Structures are given as C-alpha cells and as structure tokens.
C-alpha cells in the first residue's frame, strides 16, 4: 500500500502538533499537511517541522477553498477547536468549522475523515449541568450528528479530559469506562494522537464508529481489535 496522505485541521493545537509529529515519523504515511490559520504557523511547520502547510482559516474560508486545500489527500483529521476563546467561536470553529470541512471532504472526494469530539457528547444528561461547558457540548454533539449524516468514512473520537502527560499506549475498555469517572475520564493527548494514527491504519475496525477514549489498562492494539 502506498503511504497515506493525511491533512490535519488544527495542526498547531496540542493534539494536532503531536499528531503531525507521529505521522511525519511513520513510514506508512507521506509527509502530512498542517492546516493552520496564521502565516507564522505556516512558516513554523514548513521551516522547523518540515512538513507541508496550508494557510486556511476554517472560520472564514469557503467550503471550496477548504476543498482546494485538502484536494489529493487520502484522509482529513479535524482536531481544531475554539479552546475557550468565546462562545461565538465554539459555533464557528467546533460546529460550523467541522461541518464545512466535512462538506469540503465530500466536494474534494476525500472519503476518510476523523474528528476529535468530546466524551459523552451524545448524553445530554451528562453535560447539561457542567458549568461553562453546555454550549461547547451542544456544538460537539451537533457536529458529530452532521458527521454521521455525511457520506464520509468517518470515525468520531470522543476523548475525556485531555492531559499533556507522556502517552501510555493504554486505553480503558469501553465496557469498564465508568471506573474512570473519579479521574474525570482523563486521557493524555499523546494517546489520542496515537489512536488517530491507528484508526487511519485500521479503517476496517474504526470506520462509521463513535469511540470513547480514556486512559486505562488495555494496549491500543488490543482495544482496536475489540471494537
Ligand atoms: N481540553 C479538553 O479536555 C478536551 C476534551 C475533549 C475533547 N477536546 C477537543 O479536542 C480537540 C483538540 O484539543 P487540543 O487541546 O489539541 O486543542 P487546542 O490546543 O486548543 O487546538 C485547537 C486548534 O484549533 C485551531 N483553530 C482554531 N480556530 C481555527 C480556525 N479558524 N482555522 C484553523 N484552525 C483553527 C487552533 O489554532 P490557533 O492555535 O491558531 O488558535 C488550535 O491550533 C478540540 O476540538 C477540543 O475541543 C478537548
């Protein structure tokens, strides 16, 4: 199989950077494309990280412009987010930004799509009383639904609370997720990036699935085999 060409939306984010590095050092993948929103970020990825980069602000670009940026790629990963920078931007980045990228994938003929959503987004009773996160979850849940309604070979990843510790390579089996409630269902961003890489390499196990990601005691390879 020829190396997969992957474009990452939100490449300058914390998960995005880890993912770009993993893709760039894995021979199963071609040099990845970092989709970012400032010229400084483009220069950083091209000159320091030595990957391809596209200046495409998903809030302000048209679907056609986003389609042009991802044209020719085998897969798109969406890991962008407003990151607490205002309720309005939750809707223009996490919700409509994601929907526009889905539409762009359909327009450009990029079938494979992976989105980083949030744990239990489908369960309104879980999040409706979490102070400050209600709008965020409304956006994530609605974006996930648009992804499921698309024609894409999607995978919706729903990590718990994201940490910046070193990856463990271990995930919590889905039938024992609730054991992790006391640690806020946390997961290291490096493990999220590793799981995205494995999802790209194992579409048979992950396409058309919504998968909760929390650190636990099962190796990622075993976890994927059990999906
Ligand atoms: N924090 C948590 O505990 C948690 C839990 C579950 C899921 N998540 C989700 O996981 C995902 C990844 O998290 P993270 O910590 O890596 O997020 P992050 O560090 O905040 O990165 C988000 C990235 O999105 C980019 N972005 C924002 N607006 C954009 C635009 N208009 N066009 C292009 N890119 C844009 C940002 O660019 P700039 O750097 O230029 O701002 C940033 O690089 C997010 O969707 C987040 O909502 C987070």
Active-site residue flag, 73: no
pLDDT for res 84 = 79
List of the chain residues with pLDDT < 70: none
* Residue 223 within any structural domain of the chain: no
Closest CA to 117 of 165, 152, 86, 154: 154
* Centroid of ligand 1 to alpha carbon of 82 (angstroms): 6
Q: Are 161 and 15 in contact (CB under 8 A)?
A: no
pLDDT for res 219 = 98
* Centroid of ligand 1 to alpha carbon of 63 (angstroms): 20
Closest CA to 21 of 37, 45, 5, 3: 45
* Residue 150 within any structural domain of the chain: yes
The H-or-E segment that residue 24 falls in is helix 14-24
Q: How many domains does the chain have?
A: 1
**Which residue, by CA, sits nearest to atom 48 of ligand 1?**
162
Q: 163 is written with which tokens?
A: 């940490």
pLDDT for res 85 = 78
Q: Where are the beta strands (DSSP E) in 52-189?
A: 52-55, 75-78, 112-116, 153-159, 162-163, 170-171, 187-188
pLDDT for res 83 = 87
Provide the whole-model pTM: 0.98
* Residue 44 within any structural domain of the chain: yes
Q: Which domain holds residue 121?
A: 6-158+188-214
Q: What is the CATH number of the domain that holds 99?
A: 3.40.50.720
**Among 136, 137, 154, 185, which one carries the catalytic annotation?**
136
């Amino acid at each position: 199989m020829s190396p997969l060409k992957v474009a990452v939306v939100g490449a300058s984010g914390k998960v995005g950077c880890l993912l770009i590095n993993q893709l760039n050092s894995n021979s199963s993948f071609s040099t990845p494309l970092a989709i970012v929103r400032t010229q400084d970020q483009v220069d950083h990825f091209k000159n320091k990280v030595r990957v391809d980069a596209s200046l495409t602000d998903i809030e302000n670009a048209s679907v056609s412009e986003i389609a042009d940026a991802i044209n020719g790629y085998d897969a798109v990963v969406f890991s962008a987010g407003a990151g607490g920078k205002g309720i309005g931007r939750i809707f223009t980045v996490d919700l409509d930004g994601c929907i526009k990228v889905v539409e762009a994938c359909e327009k450009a003929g990029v079938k494979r799509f992976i989105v980083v959503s949030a744990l239990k987004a489908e369960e309104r009773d879980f999040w409706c009383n979490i102070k400050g996160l209600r709008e965020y979850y409304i956006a994530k849940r609605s974006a996930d639904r648009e992804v499921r309604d698309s024609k894409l070979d999607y995978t919706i990843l729903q990590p718990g609370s994201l940490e910046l510790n070193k990856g463990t390579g271990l995930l919590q089996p889905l039938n024992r997720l609730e054991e992790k409630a006391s640690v806020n269902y946390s997961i290291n961003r490096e493990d999220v990036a590793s799981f995205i890489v494995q999802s790209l390499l194992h579409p048979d196990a992950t396409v058309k699935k919504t998968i909760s990601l929390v650190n636990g005691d099962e190796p990622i390879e075993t976890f994927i085999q059990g999906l």
